[in-house]
Amino acid sequence: MSILGDRIFARRKSSSVHLTKIPAPDFDLAMTLDSGQVFHWEKSGHGFVGTLGEQAVYVEQGRNSLLSSCGKQLAGHYFALDHPLAEICASFPNDLTMNAARKFCRGLRIIRQPKWECLATFICSSMKQIAHIRQISKKLRERFGEPRNVGDRVIHTFPSAERIAASSEKELRKCALGYRAKNLLATARLIARGGVDLEDLSALSDIDLCARLCELPGVGAKVANCVMLFAYERLRAFPIDVWIERVLREKYFPRARRLNAARLRAFTEEYFGEHGGYAQQYLFHHARMSKAKIKSKSRGFVTPSGVR
């Protein structure tokens, strides 16, 4: 860390929130939080506030480090600082599209999210843009979650399956869920009553885990793969949404006339390999940010990195 960085860190330590400095090479905090895998973190001062399970946390990017109000083990695990990112990126296919995404997304890591929180959030994400998913997450937390303090900020935990199960579809619709309220409520009640144990599903193979998740109300192949990737750390999982399908069609199958979901799935599993989930996230984020940049230029201004 530079002299200026050390001084900034010293000032942070003397503030109302004590920060622990955690080694974090090859890590871009802002990009990771803004890449469409998690939706509740909010900008605060020089960093971000959010929750890691039941704990409210403040995190801030340092020079090759992460400054966190929680312990090294908790933050390091959540942000997957142990993932060998250089090796993962080196395993990507060597093509123009993937190389551009890899260069653009340097430091982006796949977060290890709490299983219920991740599942519930992606059930709510169906046919929604990221800004809308953020709004839904915030409303669910404020209406059903528990308040927590970090510094002078009050944030809310994500409500448990039991808390959601005890509500009603009418109450959930007040959080802008629309038809998704029925699916979220049904899945929450199934879990709360012991019909499904999300922790037990960890023992399943990728194929069986995907199939089991798809049995839950509101979960299809795309949501199941998101949950597998972001909550179960199945790094081969390759969620295919409209953004990724567009990238695959335009960059990898430009002349294909007949291209169905099964063919795309078979291609991504073979071509992107054991770290396909990372490749997918890089392709996804790069495509979204490139599109946003093009739109902003057409309007006469440039969108800063990390702004949707």
**What is the average pLDDT score of the chain?**
90
Q: Between the CA atoms of 30, 41, 293 and 28, what dihedral angle is there, to the nearest 10 degrees?
A: 10
Give the mean pLDDT of 137-155.
96
Angular region, 110: left φ>0, alpha ψ -120 to 50, beta rest: beta
Which whole-number Å values give the CA distances from 282 to 8, 30, 97, 218, 278, in the listed order? 31, 14, 10, 26, 6
pLDDT at position 8 is 42
The whole-angstrom separation of Cα 237 and Cα 276 is: 6
CATH numbers and ranges of domains, the chain: 1-82 (3.30.310), 84-105+235-299 (1.10.1670.10), 113-232 (1.10.340.30)
pLDDT tens per residue, range 263-288: 999 999 999 999 999 999 999 999 99
The 10s digit of each residue's pLDDT in 61-96 is: 999 999 999 989 999 999 999 999 999 999 999 999
Tokens of 42: 């909010």
Tell me if 101 sits within 8 A of 286, measured CB to CB: yes
Q: pTM to 2 decimals? A: 0.89
Q: Binning pLDDT at 50, 70 and 90, where does residue 12 land?
A: low
147: left (phi over 0), alpha (psi -120 to 50) or beta: beta
Of residues 248 and 13, which shows the higher confidence score?
248
- How far apart CA 214 and CA 151 sit, in angstroms, is 40
Asked if 44 and 155 touch (Cβ cutoff 8 Å), the reply is no
